[in-house]
Structures are given as structure tokens and as C-alpha cells.
Structure 1
Amino acid sequence: MSTQPAETPTLDYRSDRAFLGHPRGLGYLSFAEAWERFSYYGMAALLALYGSKQLFQPGHIETIWGFAPFRELLESLYGPLTPLTLGGAIAALYGSLVYLTPIAGGYIADRFIGRTRAVTTGAILMAAGHFFMTFDQTFVVAMACLLIGVGFFKGNIAAQVGDLYAPGDLRRADAFQIYMLGIQIAVIAAPIVCGWLGQKVAWHFGFGAAGVGMLIGLIVYLSGRRWLPAEPAAKQGGIVEPRPKLVKGEGIRIVVLALLVPVLAFTAVGNQQLFAAYELWGDAHYQLRFFGWEMPATFLISFDAIISTITMAGSVVFWRWWGTRHTEPDEITKLTIGSIIAMLAPLVLALASLHEAATGEKVSLAWGLAFHILNDVGFANIFPVGLALYSRASPKAIGSTMLAVYYLNLFLAGLIVAKLATLLGTLSGFQFWGLHALLMAGASVVLLIVRGVAGRLLAPTVDPEAEAGIQSVGA
């Protein structure tokens, strides 16, 4: 299969509104990313449970090629780990590292092979990684393929979304929320399909289904290449100039955006804990038996995805409505609002843990519903809005690299979550989830300060050419 970039499209991306008022390329990128997310979340929903219940149990862990040195490293950092805490820590670390490797993938795409080749290479490696997960022995090989593959795929496909819009095109933030909405629909199905296959049939069937989903995503992406942003011409394996250059005044924006990364990391710890300690805590503490049927714990992820889809759509509709009556807030303001709301989510679980301790009864999913609503309303105003901010405010010379820098906030959040996951068996539920809420509250305070100090620097400016183009289309 050819991985050559598509021929330069003749589309005027500033005026194309064929897909829900947006360029057609947004549709292909959204569906391709949705299938990639199906594969990712299908596998991630199983990882902690599979590790704690089978892979890291005696008789299995010894068969993993090359795993012993890695286990020794983890225990030197976190102390002795049981199958339960090892499963949680590995899931959290994987969820962290998938946001580190896009730095290298973005740089390679920006300077050498272009985004189309990078995304295609990443999809192939990720499909291979999911299929390697179907064997205990190749677990480390699978992790390597998945991490390298996502490095090529993740930041570059998001950067192509941003490339569909002129700098002052106000559709950009809306586009990233639509992009995320498409992902959420796939995420609903992934833990149900892969989780049910993994927990009720065989673990490896679930991982195999994730691999098939990744192959579908690759096919969708390649079929839509003619509608994607133009690539610079390629010659002898490298990108030929002219390439955009950094200009005076862009350095300070790079510094501010880089300093925001650790702050955003702390706003994400509640959401990033979903695939690590939360799933394991929910398996042990939620009331999951209904009319004699035991609900697989992986279904909690689909439960979250359904609510997240509704809140993501609701957020798009709400801000469109708000914009017709008031001045729509800029991205840094939305990020601050989202972080405050998200902070309340682990606080709900802390209170639920107090109720469980007082009554001796398992936690009702009504508490879980409150947790997911607050978490997902906050997420809808943090993650896609952050993507829009970094896509718009980053210098064009290093656009893919800066989006990869943005994903570092989830890498750092994963490291924090991995450490917190090892405390699951030592802290009470109230202490465990209260600690999450405290960390997130601190990040919200910092965002309020950043908004006051650097809000003007990060505020959007309108591109006169883009504004004129949009007005002419409306006419």
C-alpha cells in the first residue's frame, strides 16, 4: 500500500463547508481518529483488569519476554507491587507514555516525512501492536509497537485538523469539539465490544478486535487523502523548503504554552485515572450486579463515554447559543471553567467512599453517574479547548511539535496517576479520591492566575483574509 502524500488539493479550506459547516477533510480525520480511539480504548479498558487478573499473576508473568528488568525498575520506584497495583501502574504508565512519543513523531513529520506518511506509519505499527497483545509472551513487543505507533499518529492527525482552518477562522474550536465528539461515539462501543470479548470470552479476543478497529481507521484515513491539507513537496525522503520560520514575538508564546503543560496535567488526573485505579476501584466497590447479572467493569468506560458524548455535544451547543447572546469566552477562560467543574468529580467519589464506610454497603452507580457527569462536563471544556488553543497560538513553523507538547500534559498526568494508583490499597477511598480533588483544585487556582497575567497574550486575533472569506461565503 502506497504511503506517498496525496496530491495537493485544489480546495479552498477557508470556504469549504461541506461537512457540518466545516471542510470535508474534518469528516475523514474525525472518522479515522474515531477508529484509532476504538482500538486504543478497547485495549486500554482491558489492560488493568487483564494485568491484575491474569497476565501479572504467578504462572503468567514469568512467560513475558523481557519483562523482569522493567518490573524491577517499577518496584525500585514504587516499592513491592501486587498483581492489583502492578496492573494499575502499568495501565497508568501506558496511558502516560502514549502522550510522550508524539513529540518525536511530530518533529519527524515537521522536518522529514510529512504528516500523511507519519499518520500512515503510526496506524500500521499500532495495528501490529494490538495483534501482538493476543499473546502473553509478546506483551513488551506489543507495548513498544503501540507507543511508537501512537507517536507518529496522535499529534500529526490533530495538526491536520488545525491545518484545515485559517489563523483567524473562528470555526477552529468548534471543529475540535466536533472532532472529539466523533471520537466519543467510538469510545462508547470500544469497551463494550472489546471488554465483553475480553472478560466474557477470552482476553485475547478483545485485543484482536482492537487491532481490527485500527486497520479500519487506516483505510478511512487513506481513502480521504485528497480532502486533507496540502503537504510540502517531498524529495529523497525529506521535506523540501520553503518551511515556515519562527518570527519575532513567537518565543514568548512558546514559553507560556510550555509552562501551561504541567498545570493542565493536574487538571487531568481525575479523567486519566479512569483506566487505572478507577476501573479497579469500581470493580471492587460499585454495586455491579443487576437481576443476577454481573456487569463487566469495562462497561464503566462505555458508561463514561456515553455521558461524555452527551456533555461534549451539549458543550458545543451551549457555547454556540452563548455566542449568539454574549461574547464567547476565549480558550484560557473555558479551560479555567472546565478545570473547576472537573475538580468536583473525584470529590463525589470521596463522599461516596465515606457513605460506603458508614453503611457497609457497596457504592450505588448513582454516585458514579454524578462523578462521570462532572468529570465529562469539565473534560469537554478542557481537552478539545486546549487542542484549539495550542493549534491556534503555536507558531506555524513548529505546529505539529507544539501539539505534541500539548499532549505532554497527559503524559505528566499519567505519571501522577501511576503514583496515585499505587496508593489504592493503602489509603482509604475518602483519602484517595480527596487527594485527586485537592491536586485539581490547585491547578484551577493557577489557571485563574495565568488568565489574569497572560490572557491577553493568548487571546485570539482575527485574520482579515479569513474574515473576508467567511463573510463572502455567507453572502
Structure 2
Amino acid sequence: MKKQTPNMDTAFLGHPKGLSTLFFTEMWERFSYYGMRAILLLYMYYAINQGGLGLDRGLSMSIMSIYGALVYVSSVVGGYISDRILGSRRTVFYGGILIMFGHIALALPLGLTALFTSIVLITLGTGLLKPNVSDMVGDLYGPSDTRRDAGFTIFTFGINLGALIAPIVVGWLGQNVNFHLGFSLAAIGMFFGLFQYVVEGKKTLSQHGMKPGNPIQSNELRGIITKVILGIIALAVIIFIMSLNHALNIANIITLITIITLLLTVVYFVIMLTSKKVDSVERSHVWAYIPLFIASAIFWAIEEQGSSILAMFAATQTQNHVLGLTIPASFYQTLNPLFILIYSPIFAWLWGKLGKRQPGSPVKFSMGMVIAGLSYVFMVIPVVMFGTKSLVSPLWLVGSWAIIEIAEMLISPVGLSVTTKLAPKAFSSEMMSMWFLSDAVGQAISSQIVGSYSQNEAMYFGIIGLLAIVAGLILVMFVKPLKKLMQGIR
């Protein structure tokens, strides 16, 4: 029998068999990450005699946001290492190892030392794994394969399947038994993901990702090493100056990371736009990508506050005793993936049904931003009606998540897909890192504003929601110019 080419492979739900391997690898990785995230905020601000670290609530929410930003900032490093040094297959494996040990660190009762150690390990590990898994999904499809958006939607389904199970299992164990046992279960989840990736990857993944797509040449090595050393020295000098001025504290470190994240974004776009390895058509694609990047950052600034603002709302302002049952606050983190799982088949069918008649990526992004803004405008209602001291029905959180996950279906899988389509050949993995960097920018900005939430909750939800809606409407005005820059790519 003639062997099928990757473009003709329909072994997994009408898609290439390799999608199955990457589906389950990312499912287990997200199980570990979202399981940890479901209890981390609670672990940080719970009193020491309750098994927590006893940190300030506002500071805990800022740490959650900047942690998320760091995770996605590191994807830039992961994309570079994949493109220039290791190739995607090995980069993903090493990333999984670091993530597993990061969860093991949290499983140890070593207080702040374990917290910051885990942040470093999980940050680096996720940066190596996440963008490259997504890039490998894109490699399963040919340039004109109309299954691509549907394939990424199925892949997103796998992400959210792991994220759905994790808060229930890890959350219950962490809140009702011991936080450290919950973190241990997250580590076990990552182990399962690694095992599946290695065993099934040998059978279903091509050799495409075994070598770097744009390997470092010997004449480049000295310059790269010099830049790395200069970067380390500059960071050390900044930290030293902060220390001399008695400004070396967690809040200022968070601000420093925010500034670095924004600067890194600008630098990366400049590098791609000025690189001699990028031709005129690819450069036009990068210019088209910039407004989509900004739109994505605005969306993620709201969506990712589910683990900080909405998590705090669930723990402190929601009636969690319903019909004789107690709902652990961590369980609300299942609402995000639950609605994604509900919506994914609908959107996969819709895009498949519409085919070439479906709206282009810029239109989908603008619709997503407007809907994301509405999810926060919706949260103004219970705050105004009942005040900040009363416990409100869980249905308000359910409604808010139900709205914003429609927005995520319009932005997240579509963003993954359009990133692979607009990526310059020499920056394929690094362009995927830019997609995750948009999440980092959103969360970095979020880390600077979540502290104002408790000052006026109604105003907080209202202003952020309206800003997202206005930004979405502005993007609509740029749809035609973006289509021209995208040169036929939808």
C-alpha cells in the first residue's frame, strides 16, 4: 500500500495521526499547569496556620499575573532554542522535564524558596514546550490544507480537557487535604505527558522537528554569546542599583519584569522586520500580524484574570454553600475549559461548514475583543446590585466565563493558526513564541492593574470591559488594510 503523505493522513478524527500525540501531550501538560494554578493563589494568601504562605491578597494576585507573563515570555527563548539549537522535538521533551521538577519543588514544604524555585523551573519549561508543540501541530498540514483551523480547534480541545479535570482533582486535594499533595499530583500529570510524548512520538511524528530549522552558524556564535553576557550584566546592574536604593522587593521586581516584557516585544518585531532572512512578502505578513498581536494582548489581559480577579471573587464574594454542598473556590477554574469543550465542536463544525466563506482572522479577532469586554461589563451588575460585602450567586461567575469563552474561541485557536500561516520561514518557532508573548504582555499589564481591583470593583470591571469593546471596534476599521498586508492569507 502506498504510504500517505502528511497532507493526506486522516487517521485521527479526519486529521493526521500526529495530532493525537500532540493532543495528549499538551492535555497532560495543561493538566499539570492548570492544576497548580487552581490552588496557587489560595496557597499564597491563605494564612500559615491554614497551610498557606500568608501573603497579602493584592500582592498574591500580582504574582499570579506576572507568573503567567513569565511563562509566556520564556516562550521566546523556547522558540529560539528550537529554531537555532535543538529542533522542536527535543526542545519539547526538555521543557517537560523542567516543568515536572517545578511542580515537585512546590510539593516540598519549603515556603517562599520552593515557590520561587518552581516559578523559575515551570517558567523555563513551559517556554521550551508550549510554543514548539503548537508549531509542530502547524507542521502537520500543508500550506493550502483547509483542515488547519479545525485541527487547531481540536488541539485546543485537548488543552482544555486537561485544564477541566485538573482544578477538580488537584483543587480538591489541595484545598481539602494538603496544598503540597495537590502540587504533587500536578507533577505526576506532567510525567504522564512526557511518557506519552516519547512513546507515541516515535510512531506518529515525522523527522521534521529533529533538527533546528535555522541552525546557528559558527560565525554567529561569538556575537550571540556576547549579547547574552551583556544582557545578564545589564540585568545584574539594574538589580544592584535597586538594591542600593532599597527598592529590591517583589512589587518592584514585578514592575521590572513588565518593562522587560514590553521591550522584548518591540525588539523581537524589529528583528523580524529588519532580518535579511525575511523576504518582502513575509515582511508584509509580519506587519499584518502586529495589530492582531495587540488585540490578542488586550484579550489575554482580561481572560487570564480568571486566575486572579475572578478567582478572588470566587473565594471572597461568592455564595459557595449551595443546596447543602460546599463548592471549593478552586473548582470555578473548571469553567474556562468547560465552556471551551462545549464550544469547540460547535466552532470546529462552523469553520468546516463555512470553509472559504468564513470571516478572516482580523474579523474574528475584533468580534472576540468585543465579546471579552462584555464579559467584564456583565460583572458590573452583581457588584452594583449587591455591593462588595454580600455573597452573590455562583451563576454570575458562570455567566461571565460563558461569555468570555466565546471570545476565546474566536481568538485563541484562530490566533495559533494564523500565526503559523504568517510566520516567516526563518522564524517559524519564534513567531509562535510571539503569539504566546502576546499573552505575556497582557498578563504583565494585568499585574500592574489588579491591585486597584479592591478600590472600586464596579469601576474596575466597567472600565476594562469598555476599553476592550472600543479596541475591538477600532480593529474592524483596519480589516481591509490588514487583508492587503496578509496577501491572500485568511
TM range (shorter): 0.7 to 0.9
| Aligned CA distance change for structure 1 residues 272 and 17 (closer, same or farther; 3 Å) | same
The alpha-carbon deviation at position 420 of structure 1 amounts to: 2.3
> What's the CA shift for 1:331?
1.8
**2:420 corresponds to 1:391:** yes
Is 1:93 aligned with 2:66?
yes
Aligned residues of 2:25 and 2:197 also touching (Cα < 8 A): yes
Q: Cα distance, 1:262 vs. partner?
A: 2.5
Q: 1:269 to 1:38 in 2, by over 3 A?
A: same
Q: Shift in Å at residue 50 of structure 1?
A: 0.8
Q: How far is the alpha carbon of 1:313 from its aligned partner?
A: 2.1
Equivalent position of 2:376 in the other structure: 346
Contact 2:89 2:210 (C-alpha < 8 Å) held by counterparts:
no
Question: What residue number does 2:484 align with?
Answer: 456
| SS across alignment from 1:50 | helix
CA distance in 1, matches of 2:13, 2:129: 25
Q: Could you tell me how far 1:222 is from its partner in structure 2? A: 1.1
| Cα separation, partners in 2 of 1:304 and 1:260, compared to 1, 3 Å | closer
- Kindly tell me: are residues 234 and 431 of structure 1, through their superposed partners in 2, closer, same or farther at Cα, counting changes over 3 Å? closer
The aligned amino acid for 1:35 is: W
Corresponding position of 1:279: 311
Query: Contact 2:293 / 2:435 at 8 angstroms: preserved in 1?
Result: yes
**Equivalent in the alignment of 1:403:** 432
Per the alignment, residue 25 of structure 1 pairs with 18
Bigger mean CA deviation after superposition, 188-197 or 279-288: 279-288
1:335 matched to which residue of 2?
365
CA distance in 2, matches of 1:391, 1:56: 49
Is 1:42 the equivalent of 2:19?
no
SS at match of 1:170: coil
How many residues in Structure 1 have an aligned counterpart in Structure 2? 426
Q: Distance in 2 between matches of 1:97 and 1:443?
A: 25
Deviations 1:12-57 (A, max 9, x none): 1111011111100011101100100000000011111110114699
1:124: Cα distance to partner? 0.2
- Residue type matched to 2:29 in 1? E
Match of 1:4 in 2: none
Given candidates 46, 52, 56, the residue that maps to 1:83 is 56
Mapped contact 2:319–2:394 kept (Cα < 8 A): yes
Equivalent position SS for 2:454: coil
Other-structure match for 1:14: 7
Aligned equivalents of 1:57 and 1:396: distance in 2? 52
CA distance in 1, matches of 2:73, 2:48: 25
Q: 1:321 deviation in Å? A: 3.4
For residues 341 and 316 of structure 2, the distance between their equivalents in structure 1, rounded to whole angstroms, comes to: 26
Are residues 253 and 424 of structure 1, via their aligned partners in 2, closer, same or farther at CA, if it must alter by over 3 Å?
A: same
Which structure has the highest helix share of the two?
A: 2
Q: Secondary structure at the match of 2:126?
A: helix
In structure 2, what is the Cα distance between the partners aligned to 1:230 and 1:34?
A: 22
Change (3 A) 1:293 1:398: same
Per mean C-alpha deviation after superposition, the further-off stretch among 135-144 and 404-413 is 135-144
Q: State which of 425, 436, 453 in structure 2 corresponds to 1:424.
A: 453
Q: Could you tell me how far apart the structure 2 residues matched to 1:441 and 1:278 are? A: 19
Letter in 2 for 1:344: L
Q: Which residue number in structure 2 is paired with residue 157 of structure 1?
A: 133
Displacement of 1:263: 2.7
Q: Residue 453 of structure 2 aligns to a residue in which SS?
A: coil
Is the alpha carbon distance of 1:39 and 1:59 closer, same or farther for their aligned partners in structure 2, counting shifts above 3 Å?
closer
Name the CA shift for 1:232/1:274 in 2 (closer, same or farther; >3 Å).
closer
How much has 1:312 moved relative to structure 2? Answer: 2.1
- Are 1:311 and 1:373, in contact at CA under 8 Å, matched by a contact in 2? no
Q: 1:327 to 1:129 in 2, by over 3 A?
A: same
- Alignment match, 2:337: 305
Which stretches in structure 1 are left out of the alignment for 5+ residues?
Answer: 1-9, 62-81, 463-475
Aligned mate of 1:114, from 62, 87, 91: 87
Larger CA deviation: 10-19 vs 450-459: 450-459
Give the counterpart letter for 1:338 in structure 2. G
- TM-score after normalising by structure 2: 0.82
Alignment-derived partner of residue 205 in structure 2: 228
Contact 1:341 1:375 in 2 (8 A): yes
**Residue identity matched to 1:286:** T
Q: String of CA shifts for 1:211-231, please: whole Å, max 9, x gaps.
A: 000011111111222322423
The equivalent residue for 1:253 is 285
Structure 1, 51-60 or 393-402: larger mean CA deviation:
51-60
Q: Percent identity?
A: 30
Aligned partner of 1:293 among 287, 310, 325: 325
Q: Structure 1 residues 140, 232: closer, same or farther in 2, change over 3 A? A: closer
Contact 1:286–1:364 (CA under 8 A) maintained in structure 2: yes
**Contact 2:368–2:410 (CA<8 Å) still a contact in 1?**
yes
Structure 2 unpaired stretches of 5+ = 219-275
* Cα distance change of structure 1 residues 416 and 55 upon mapping to structure 2, 3 Å threshold: farther
The whole-number CA distance in structure 2 between the counterparts of 1:384 and 1:418 is: 25
Bigger mean CA offset, 114-123 vs 293-302: 293-302
How far did 1:92 drift? 1.0
One-letter amino acid of the counterpart of residue 372, structure 1: W
Does the aligned pair in 1 maintain the 2:136–2:209 contact within 8 Å? no
Do the aligned residues in 2 keep the contact of 1:126 with 1:149 (CA within 8 Å)?
A: yes
Instruction: State the 1:248 CA deviation.
Output: 3.1
What is the TM-score when the length of structure 1 is the normalising length? 0.84
Matched, 1:53 2:46: yes
Query: How many angstroms apart in 2 are the aligned matches of 1:223 and 1:209?
Result: 22
Q: What is the CA–CA distance in structure 2 between the aligned matches of 1:231 and 1:127, rounded to whole Å?
A: 26
Aligned partner of 2:41: which letter? A
- Rounded to whole Å, the distance in 1 between the matches of 2:11 and 2:52 is 56
User: What is the 5 A alignment of 1:166-177?
Assistant: 166-177=142-153
Tell me, what secondary structure is at the counterpart of 1:387?
A: helix
Partner residue, 2:266 = none
Deviation at 1:187, TM superposition (A): 1.1
Number of the residue aligned with 1:437: 465
The answer to whether residue 178 in structure 2 is matched with residue 202 in structure 1 is: yes
